Amino acid sequence: MTRLPNIDEFKSSPIGEQVNVLDTLFEHSDSLVWFTLKNSQFMRSEWNSYQELVKAVETKLLQVCEDTEIEGISSRGVDHLANIVGAHPRLGDSKQNLSSHSKQEQANLTGSANKSPEVLARLNTLNQKYETKYEGLKFVVFVNGRSYDEISEVMEKRIHSNNSWFKECEIAIKEMSDIAVDRLNKCVEIKGKI
Integer-rounded Cα radius of gyration of the chain = 17
d(CA 119, CA 133): 21
Ordered by start, the domain boundaries in the chain are 3-189
What confidence category does residue 112 fall into, taking pLDDT thresholds of 50, 70 and 90? very low
d(CA 90, CA 106): 10
Query: What average pLDDT does this structure show over 80-101?
Result: 77
pLDDT, one tens digit per residue, over 6-30 is: 999 999 999 999 999 999 999 999 9
How buried is 4 (Cβ within 10 angstroms: 0-12 exposed, 13-18 middle, 19+ buried)?
buried
What confidence category does residue 148 fall into, taking pLDDT thresholds of 50, 70 and 90? confident
Mean pLDDT of all residues belonging to the chain: 87
Which residues lie closer than 8 Å to 100 by C-beta, 6 or more apart? none
Which residues lie closer than 8 Å to 158 by C-beta, 6 or more apart? 130, 139, 168, 171
Q: What is the dihedral of CA 180, 182, 185, 186, to 10 degrees?
A: -100
What local confidence, expressed as pLDDT, does residue 190 receive? Answer: 43
What local confidence, expressed as pLDDT, does residue 145 receive? Answer: 83
What local confidence, expressed as pLDDT, does residue 160 receive? Answer: 98
CA-wise closest residue to 143 among 192, 77, 98, 188: 98
Distances (CA, A) of 36 to 6, 106, 132: 18, 27, 29
Query: What average pLDDT does this structure show over 119-146?
Result: 93
What local confidence, expressed as pLDDT, does residue 73 receive? Answer: 78
- Asked if residue 47 has pLDDT above 50, the reply is yes
What confidence category does residue 109 fall into, taking pLDDT thresholds of 50, 70 and 90? low
> Which architecture, in CATH terms, is 3-189?
Orthogonal Bundle (1.10)
DSSP notation for 61-102: HHHHHHHHHHH-TTSHHHHHHHHHHTTSPPTT--GGGS-HHH
- Asked if residue 157 has pLDDT above 80, the reply is yes
59 against 150, higher pLDDT: 59
**Range in 126-130, 142-146, 153-157 the model is least confident about:** 142-146
What local confidence, expressed as pLDDT, does residue 116 receive? Answer: 75
CA-wise closest residue to 164 among 128, 133, 125, 126: 133
d(CA 133, CA 183): 29
Distances (CA, A) of 110 to 119, 140, 182: 8, 16, 19
Query: What average pLDDT does this structure show over 64-80?
Result: 92
Which amino acid belongs to residue 159? I
